[in-house]
Chains A and B, each alone.
Chain A
Amino acid sequence: MWETLTGILGPAEWQAVRLSLRVSFWATFLSLPFGILVAYLLARGNFPGKQLLNGVVHLPLILPPVVTGYLLLLGFGRRGPIGGFLETVFGIVLSFRWTGAALAAAVMAFPLMVRAVRLAIEAVDPRLEQAAGTLGASRIWVFVTVTLPLILPGIIAGAVLAFAKAMGEFGATITFVSNIPGQTQTIPSAIYSFLQVPGGTEAAGRLVAVSVVIAMAALLLSEILARRVARRVAGT
């Protein structure tokens, strides 16, 4: 299958597809634990600043993506406070690298992931968690043995949604890490570039087709997984 794909796609297009998959995978994978934590805090927590956290998490959803990208550049660029720290202490550079594209994609996809997981947590009967507590489980154990298995379908749904969003992220990515072939040129950036040059429509069309296929496949996979998990969880 890979040969057929690489045969159909030109090397530049193939590069963009591979880069997009890599960026989206890491964006989803690394933000998932934070997404679950934030969703849990928002669903079950009761602390000052909860509304503020809620607002900050949802900000990328309502801000223009270019603004989010610019804010990332300010904060995580080499001269930015966080970017500078990461570079001097850990040697991690984000600006104009694929890692930065992953960060931009993760930030943009975060609200969708949190929302899906939060809804799943809110659907869990807190009396079950209470029962687990009386049986000797500490809060962390209650979460691991009761809450987490029960919200697994929601986590899968949130992860797939975040992956799809990451695959399609354009505005924040191009602002933060630009559009460098092989480094930061994801599928949407590549489509945009192809459309800027004469005769690029065909390559753009092929990438559009690939995007559609990946999106549909992800959706289908998540439906199947979520249904299977839901059945197992409900015990029917």
Chain B
Amino acid sequence: MTLSVRLRHSFGAFTLDVDFEAPPGVTVLFGRSGAGKTAIISAVAGLLRPDEGRVAAGDWVLFDTAAHRWLPPHRRRLGYIFQEARLFPHLSVRQNLRYGAWFAPRGAAREDFGRVVEMLGIGHLLDRRPALLSGGEKSRVAIGRALLAAPRLILADEPLAALDDERKAEIMPYFERLRDEVSVPILYVSHSAAEVARLATTVVALQDGRVLRQGSATEVLGDPAVTPVGVRGAGAVLEARLVAHHPDGLSEADAGGVPLFRSPVAAAPGARLRVRIAAHEVLISRARPEGLSALNILPGVVQEVRPGDSHGAIVSIRTPAGTVLAGLTRRSVQALGLVPGAECHAILKSVAVAPEDVGRGGA
């Protein structure tokens, strides 16, 4: 089932005007705060009534101004995961989890309670009250509560933003499992490029209330025009395949015929990987560098140079492994003469890896 969203709404000087589709899997609404992400998710949930538009999941219309159709939030069959978990303090974890199922229509396709509890690892918490849970546990229960409401659509509004890095690392895998094991579309709001790189099936990049670009994570994050969180957050994503674990402790991956080495990856050879290369971790050399400690050096051609905030710039380089973004100072761009078409080498200081769903999308 595909979710199609077309919205127009004015908040004083700010106008939201978007039109996009969210296929099954995770569609990340990506952009800085103020780009309109939360307004979109609120409108899809029915918490905000837009001036004009249409929201439909398949042939099930949630909202259509032309047809004068407006379903109130409680009839939209949502699984809404909020930034703060918003668990009901007077109910036990078990009662929180069962809350939504009670209101779901009788014949609705439901997730199995035991399976969800097991998937989220919250079996030992069922009889506790939310007040006694840690932040990460609350998030997991909130995910379970949304999932068990028999939703036709899952909405997640920056569900990790309130957590520290350790908790983020704890929760992220559950969203990956959600993406891989649940068939309903998931609309996920984020301003973190790392989350996009790891979770997104589709990315909708937003800026000032408009869709800047829509496509796969590799396409959108590799576009230097899409740096909604500034030069610091920019970074491209490469698709790779794990080749081998070497005896010296490094793992080797293959990205479009180019070998990439990095610290051990917990996956079996043959597994598909998503490799995120943060722009500030990339150096550029015009000549092939000699006597350098970096293991991963990709030859390429400058595609585009885009000035960023203040003194910085983003350079996109086409390499055999895919498009890589480098964050440089404008001074370096000038000194090296980096113009479109210039040949250069991208030196990767670090290579972050997220296990890609094996089996989806073939190959």
Per-residue contact bits, chain A 147-170, to B (CB 8 Å; 1 contact, 0 not) = 001100000000000000000000
- Measured CB to CB, the closest approach of chain B to A227, in angstroms, equals 15
Residues on the A chain within 8 Å of B100, using CB: 135-136
Is there an interface contact between A136 and B103, defined as CB atoms closer than 8 Å?
yes
Chain A residue at smallest Cβ distance from B133:
A235
One of A104-112, A126-134, A203-211 at the interface? A126-134
- Residues of B73-95 at the interface with A, using a CB-CB cut-off of 8 Å, are 73-78, 80, 82, 84, 86, 88-90, 92
Residues on the B chain within 8 Å of A128, using CB: 86, 88-89
Is there an interface contact between A135 and B99, defined as CB atoms closer than 8 Å?
yes
The verdict on A235 contacting B129 (CB below 8 Å), with A127-B86, A135-B149 known, is: yes
The verdict on A149 contacting B90 (CB below 8 Å), with A136-B103, A234-B131, A235-B131 known, is: yes
B74 in complex: contacting residue of A133, A146, A150, A235, CB < 8 Å: A133
- Measured CB to CB, the closest approach of chain A to B300, in angstroms, equals 46
- Residues of B48-78 at the interface with A, using a CB-CB cut-off of 8 Å, are 72-78
Residues on the B chain within 8 Å of A235, using CB: 89-90, 92, 129-132
Q: Does B274 contact A (CB under 8 A)?
A: no
Q: Does A233 contact B (CB under 8 A)?
A: yes
- Measured CB to CB, the closest approach of chain A to B11, in angstroms, equals 19
- Residues of B147-188 at the interface with A, using a CB-CB cut-off of 8 Å, are 149, 155
The verdict on A137 contacting B103 (CB below 8 Å), with A146-B88, A150-B90, A235-B89 known, is: yes
Is there an interface contact between B132 and A131, defined as CB atoms closer than 8 Å?
no
Q: Does B104 contact A (CB under 8 A)?
A: yes
Residues on the B chain within 8 Å of A146, using CB: 88, 90
Q: Interface size of B by Cβ–Cβ distance < 8 Å?
A: 30
- Measured CB to CB, the closest approach of chain A to B189, in angstroms, equals 15
B80 in complex: contacting residue of A131, A150, A232, A233, CB < 8 Å: A131
Chain A residue at smallest Cβ distance from B146:
A135
Q: Which secondary structure characterizes the binding site on chain A?
A: helix
Is there an interface contact between A138 and B74, defined as CB atoms closer than 8 Å?
yes
Per-residue contact bits, chain B 98-138, to A (CB 8 Å; 1 contact, 0 not) = 01101110000000000000000000000001111000000
Residues on the B chain within 8 Å of A131, using CB: 80, 82, 86, 88
Q: Does B145 contact A (CB under 8 A)?
A: yes
The verdict on A133 contacting B73 (CB below 8 Å), with A128-B86, A233-B90 known, is: yes
Q: Does B295 contact A (CB under 8 A)?
A: no
17 of the cross-chain contacts (CB-CB < 8 Å) are A127-B82, A127-B86, A130-B86, A132-B99, A134-B47, A134-B80, A135-B99, A135-B145, A135-B146, A136-B75, A136-B149, A137-B74, A139-B74, A146-B88, A233-B89, A234-B90, A235-B130
- A-side interface residues toward B, CB under 8 Å? 127-128, 130-139, 141-142, 145-146, 149-150, 232-236
The 6 closest A-B pairs by CB, nearest first: A235-B129, A136-B103, A135-B100, A134-B80, A131-B86, A235-B131
